[in-house]
Structure 1
Amino acid sequence: MGIPTSTEKAILAATTRKRKKKHHPFAVVFIVPSLILYTLFVIVPTLGSAYLSFTSWDGISEDIRYIGFANFVEIWSSPRVHNALKNTLIMTVSLVVLENIAAIAMALMVDKVRWFKNLFRSIFYFPTLLSGIVMGFVWAMILNYNFGVVNQILNQIGLGSWTVDWLGDPQYAMLSVILSTVWKGAGYYMIIYLAGLQSIPAELSEAANIDGANGWQQFRFITFPLLAGSLTVCMVLSMISALKIFDQIAVMTDGGPGFATETLTYIIYKVGFGELRQGFGTALAMVLFVIILVITVIQVKILRKREVQY
């Protein structure tokens, strides 16, 4: 087959352009219904929320009074909001790190096991199927100071002095919420990492074995770099999920003890529905939206740089 001449290239390019143009009307037909639904259920409510964030609406009355940037000024100076932001960032960093470490470890374990691979995969994934509310109730009972399984086991093995009020002590409440959330969420990210592991060519590991590389060296220089795409997806998803954490806190600690585990999402709920300050709560939601957007863009930009194409 000869090299195409310039005329043949021009004809081929023109044909390609015609084919692309011919598909445009069909693309619009499929895009318009989705665009209408997206506009009605996402864009319009978002614009409505942006307007309400500049009001003092209580969420019930028809009186919606415009107050300008007063809500955002209060957010800037509120110690309660600052505490919630600090708790949110601590919880987010902890969950992103721990969930991804646990997910990678479980994926490696399932990928290496020879027998009952589907059983192990199902066991690790099962907590993900539970709703946040159910998971919260389960762990609230497990960590209960009086009859919880953890304290009961400590008493039975002679470590009664180690028993603490896991959800009632400010020193342990956030740790308890974080670890229980890792237990629930790591299985989901494990599936993504497992798919990434199974896409890595076996020839690379065989060549590393021949060269005398041990298990850690193979993971450090082969497996982990080639999981860069999966790592980007999992870290972004876990970060967004952590910033929006609500169910577990609502059931396990109610933001307490005091305000020790109150996050931005939970304070939005408490202020908007508990204190009937929908305008202020909506302003907080807009701030959280901007925080998630900025962190996601930065995170994706950083992680994309280390992705390896193979």
Structure 2
Amino acid sequence: MWRLIYNPEYGALNSLLFQLGFLDSYISWLGSADKALWSVMFADVWKNFSLVAMIALASLQTLPDSQIEAAKIDGAGAWQRFRYITLPHLIPSLQVALVLRIIEAVKVFDIIYVMTKGGPANKTRSASIFVYQEAFTNSRMGSGAAYAIIMVALIMILIAFYIRGLSRREK
């Protein structure tokens, strides 16, 4: 879908921006080294935004109405209610979402492979694309497997730091 949206000849994005007068000529979104990374990142954020939104919504639904009402009675404005009640309530769930997104960003493969295969000029190459290219394109299975294990170890270290931070906060 995103390759069609970003297509330099008949893509929906070029057509829309051209008709609105923002472009004089069509742009090769995935063929340009400086635009390809931003294009792939936008597609990835679009794909994963719903997960973060659902986590935040679930957290907001557990916020007790009594706290908001008490703050209103005490004279807190909308900004103060957000800053001192809503945001502190959201932070733990947003931290979970952040860890999930970091893990997903490290292992992202599908969008990049379908859209650019890591190019142009390796500007969109992620760790998982590098592992794939090392193992299958360059026929170096051993080093590809070693890089994959390093990638898993880094993710596990990140998770260990997150769990350690959670346990410290609970004490």
Q: Secondary structure at the match of 1:161?
A: coil
The 8 Å contact of residues 52 and 94 in structure 2, kept in 1 or not, is answered as no
Do the aligned partners of residues 261 and 160 (structure 1) sit closer, same or farther apart at CA in structure 2, a change above 3 Å counting? same
Do the aligned partners of residues 180 and 304 (structure 1) sit closer, same or farther apart at CA in structure 2, a change above 3 Å counting? farther
Residue 100 of structure 2 is aligned to residue 237 of structure 1:
yes
How much has 1:140 moved relative to structure 2? Answer: 1.2
The 8 Å contact of residues 56 and 90 in structure 2, kept in 1 or not, is answered as yes
| Matched AA of 1:212 | G
Q: Which residue of 1 aligns with 2:78?
A: 215
Alignment partners' CA distance in 1, 2:153 and 2:58: 32
| Matched AA of 1:297 | A
| Matched AA of 1:190 | A
CA RMSD of aligned residues (A): 2.0
| Number of equivalenced pairs | 171
* Deviates further, 163-172 or 176-185: 163-172
Offset from partner CA, 1:146-192 (integer Å, 9 cap, x none): 11111111111222237532111111111111111111111122222
Alignment partners' CA distance in 2, 1:173 and 1:300: 35
Alignment partners' CA distance in 2, 1:242 and 1:179: 12
Alignment partners' CA distance in 1, 2:124 and 2:59: 34
Gaps of 5+ in 1: 1-137
Residue 117 of structure 2 is aligned to residue 254 of structure 1:
yes
The 8 Å contact of residues 167 and 253 in structure 1, kept in 2 or not, is answered as yes
How much has 1:298 moved relative to structure 2? Answer: 2.1
Aligned equivalent of 1:278, options 123, 132, 141: 141
How much has 1:254 moved relative to structure 2? Answer: 0.8
- Greater RCO structure (CA 8 Å; 6+ sep): 1
The percentage of aligned residue pairs carrying the same residue is 39
| Matched AA of 2:6 | L
Alignment partners' CA distance in 1, 2:26 and 2:11: 10
The 8 Å contact of residues 5 and 13 in structure 2, kept in 1 or not, is answered as yes
Gaps of 5+ in 2: none
Q: Secondary structure at the match of 1:147?
A: coil
The 8 Å contact of residues 9 and 26 in structure 2, kept in 1 or not, is answered as no
Q: Which residue of 2 aligns with 1:149?
A: 12
The 8 Å contact of residues 143 and 151 in structure 1, kept in 2 or not, is answered as yes
How much has 1:142 moved relative to structure 2? Answer: 0.5
Runs (4 or more) in structure 1 with deviation over 3 Å come to: 299-307
For 1:187-226, list aligned pairs within 5 A: 187-226=50-89
Aligned equivalent of 2:28, options 160, 165, 171: 165
State the structure with more CA Rg: 1
The 8 Å contact of residues 154 and 162 in structure 1, kept in 2 or not, is answered as no
How much has 1:229 moved relative to structure 2? Answer: 2.9
Alignment partners' CA distance in 1, 2:82 and 2:27: 38
Q: Secondary structure at the match of 2:24?
A: helix
Alignment partners' CA distance in 2, 1:195 and 1:304: 22
